Chains A and B, each alone.
Chain A
Amino acid sequence: MSRIGVFVCHCGINIAATVDVERVARELGQDANVVFATDYKYMCSDPGQQLIKDAIAEHDLDGVVVAACSPSMHERTFRQAAGDAGVNPYRCEMANIREQCSWVHQREPEQATEKASEIVRTLVAKVQQDEELAPSYFPLTRRALVIGGGISGLEAALGIARSGYPVVLVERQDHLGGKMARLSGTYLNFEAAPGLLQRRVEQVLSHPHIEVMLQAQVTGLDGYVGNFQAWVADVSAREAGEPPAEPRRIDVGAIVVATGWDPYPLNRLPEYGGGKILDVVDGLTFEQMLQPGAEIRRPSDGRVPQEVVFVQCAGSRDPERGVSYCSKVCCMYVAKQAMLFKQRVPEGQAYVFYIDIRSAGKGYDEFVQQAMEAYDVLYLRGKVSKIFARGDRVVVWGADTLVGRPVEVEADLVVLATPMLPGSGALTLAQTLHISADGYGFYNEAHPKLRPVESLTAGVYLAGAGQGPKDIPEAVSQAGGAVAKVLQLFAQETMVQDPTVAYVVEDICSFCGVCVPACPYEARELDPLRRVATVNAALCQTCGACVVACPNKASRIHNWEPGQVLAMADLLVK
C-alpha cells in the first residue's frame, strides 16, 4: 500500500469554473492508496506549495499527485517542493486537468468533473509503481563554437568571450563580416556599415579568448549539450584543388549558428529582365555602388543614371513564382538607397513601386516619410508587371493603383528589392547539427514566442538572418539572446541528467536493431560486443518511439514501465 496525497488546484477559475474540484478531491480521497486529498486556489503559489509540504510531513506521504495544469508548466515546481519535504521527486506526478480537461470541456461541467477524476486516478495508479530515482551529473565543456562570421556571429563570439569563455569562430569565407561588409550607409542615420563592422572585426580578431578559423566549415558533430565534439574542415585546400586535410576535432559545450542569408538569384526573375538586362540590378549590388568611395554607374555603359526605379517585393510575397514571405528589410533599405541616390545625384529622380510599406520599428516609418517628403522620391503603389529593354533604357511597366492607371517609366537603372534567402548550404549544416529548418531553409526556433533563440537540439542556439530575414539591430539582439543562453548553460556547475529516460533490459534484447532508426534523436546504438542496444541517456528526450518499436519490450523508459502504462489504461478502458 502506498501513502499518496492528491492536491487538486483551482487555477483561479481556470479549472474550478468548469470542474467541481471539491468533488474530485472528495472522490479521490476514497481511493485505498490515497491517504490525503484536498483542493486549493493556486497550488503553485508559495502557500500552495507549503500546503503540500505540510501534508507530506503530517500524513507521512510517500507519493504526490498534483491535479493542475500541464507538467511542462509546473512539474519542476512540484517535484522540487516534494523533494524538499522528503518525497522522492520522481514519485511526484502531475495530472493535467486544465489543458486536457477544463479548458476543452467548458460546456459540459458534469462530464468534465468525471473526466478530471479519471485522469487523477490514472496518475495515482502510476505513482504507486514509480521508482525512487536520482538524476545523474556529468561535467561540461565551457567553450563555445560560433558558426558564421557575419555581424550576428561576431556579436555572439564577442559576448561569450567577454564573459570569460573561449570561443572558436568558424567562417567559410576568407574574411569576417558577412554581407554587412557590402552595405553602404545603414538606416536610420546613414552611418557607414564598413566602419561599424570594422570595429567589431578588430575586437574579435584581437580578443585573446577567440580563435578565428577562416575558410573552414563544420562537417560533423557528435556528443550532446555540454559535451559536443565538432569536426571542422579547412576548405581552402579543396578550393585550391588539393587533397583536403583531416578535419580538426574541437570539443565545445554550446553552439551558436549564425550563417546568415544569401541573395535571391536574379535569373529567377526573367519577367523583370533579371540576368538578361545589365542595368537591372539587385539591392545588394546597388549597395556596393553607394559605398563610400564607390560610384553610381550603369553596369552597361558606365553612365551616371538619372532615373532610377526601385521595385519592392521583387520575388517576395509571391507564392506563385517567388517566395511567400516578406523579407522585412527591403522597404527600409529601398528608402535608404533612394535617399543616398538623391544625395549623390541631386538632379536625378527616384521612383519606388510598392505593394504596401512595411516600416514597423522605432523611427522606421518617419525614415520612409523623409524619403517621400524631403527627398521627393516618387512612391507609386502598384506591382510591376514587366521590365524590358528599349534601346539603351529600361522600361518598367507598373500601375499606380491610387489613381487606377497603368504606368510606364523609362529608366536608366532598375533596382530589384529581392528577398533574403537562407544561406546556401544551410540545409546541409542543419543535418550535420541535427537541427531543423523550414521549407525555405531558415532554421526553426524551438518555440516561435517563448524560445526564439534556441533550436530544438539542446545546446544549439540561433542568431541572425539564418533563422529568418532581419536587419542588423535585430540580428544583434538575437545574438545577445543566444549569448545569454550559452552563459546560462555555462553557469551550471555540472550538467544534470534527468533519470526518466529510455533504457534496455539487456536480458531480453535480441539485438534486432529495430529501435536504432526509430529514435529521432540518434540516442541509440548497437553494442556489437555485448550484442545489445544501448541508450545515450544525454541524448534521449523520452519520446517513447523506441519503446513502441521494440518487438521484445526490451526498450523501456524509467517510470513509464509497461506495468504502469497498463495499470493506467485499465482504469480508463472498462
Chain B
Amino acid sequence: MNDTSQGCGSNCSCKGGGGARDDSLFSRRNLLKGGAMTLGAAAFAKALSPLAHWTREETSVEEFLQKHYRELTKIDLELVLKRLEKDAKENYGTDVTITDHRPQKGVKFGYALNLSICIGCRRCAEACHHENNHDRATSNSYIRVLEMTKGSMDMEKGNVHYDHPVPHPDRFYMPVQCQQCDNPPCVDVCPVEATWKEEDGIVVVDYNWCIGCRYCEAACPYHARRFNWKKPVIPKDEINPNQSYLSNRIRPQGVMEKCTFCLHRTRDGRMPACLEACPTGARVFGNLLDPHSEIRKVIDTKRVFVLKEELGTRPSFFYFFDE
C-alpha cells in the first residue's frame, strides 16, 4: 500500500514511458493547464452573462424565496401583493390594485353555453383578452371559438381561423375555454403543485410558483392552458388595473396561465367578462349548489352535454342546443 502512495504522489502519468517529469506546481505543463482552465471558466462566465442582466431586471431575492400561495401567512401575502403592485408600476408604468379573492362558502361555479344561439362573433374571446391583461402582440385569449360543420360534433371538422361574416348559414359555433374539470388531469401532472382546484371549483395557477415545465399544457384535453413564451406587452392605458393574485394580474415570463372564470369578478358576485360581452345571451353562469340559480335551471331542463366526456375529466362547463 505504501509504495502506491509514494509513487502516486510523485510520478504517475497516463502517457506511460514518458520518463520522469517535473512535477512541481509551477511546471510548464501545469501552468498551461491552469491557464487553459481559467480561460475556459472565463468563457463560460461570459457565455452566461445574459443571465446576470435578467436576474437583475426581472427577479429579486424576495421573489426567489417566496413560498407557495397556500403557505403564505396573511402578513406574507400582504407583502407579496405590495411587491407585485410595485413591480407592475415599474414594469408597466401604471397603478394597479392586486387583491386576493378567496372562494365563498357554499359556492361551486358552473358555466353553460347555448350552441343554438351563439353566432361566432368572438366577442367573448376579445373581452377575455382585455379583462385578463393578455399580451397584445399575440392577441392571446383563454377562449377559442370553433366554427363547426353542421352534421358533425367532431372537432376534426372544426375551424378556428374562419374569416367571413358570421353567422355563416351552414355552420354553428362552439367556444371552448377551460372546463374547470372536477377531475383535472392538468392538476395531477404538475410536479410542484403550482396548479390546483379551489373549493368553488376553479382551477388556478400560482404564477409565482410555476416552474414552466408545460406538463399541464400537454395534459389538458381542451387546449385551455397558455404559456408565457415571453414577457407580456400591454400599453399602460390598456391595462385593467383591477387585478387578483390568482387571476388577471399581469403574468411573469415563463409561467403557465389559464381561464379562472374571472374569479376576481365572480367571487365578488359579478359575472365573467365573456358572459357580459356576449350579444346573444348564449352564456349562462352561476352557482351549481344553489337550486334556484339559472345554471341549475339549464342543467335541469335542457339536454346538456360536456366535451370529451369519455376522458373522465368531469367538466363544470356544459353545452346545450335549444330550439
Q: Do A and B assemble together?
A: no
Q: Which residues of A contact B (CB under 8 A)?
A: none
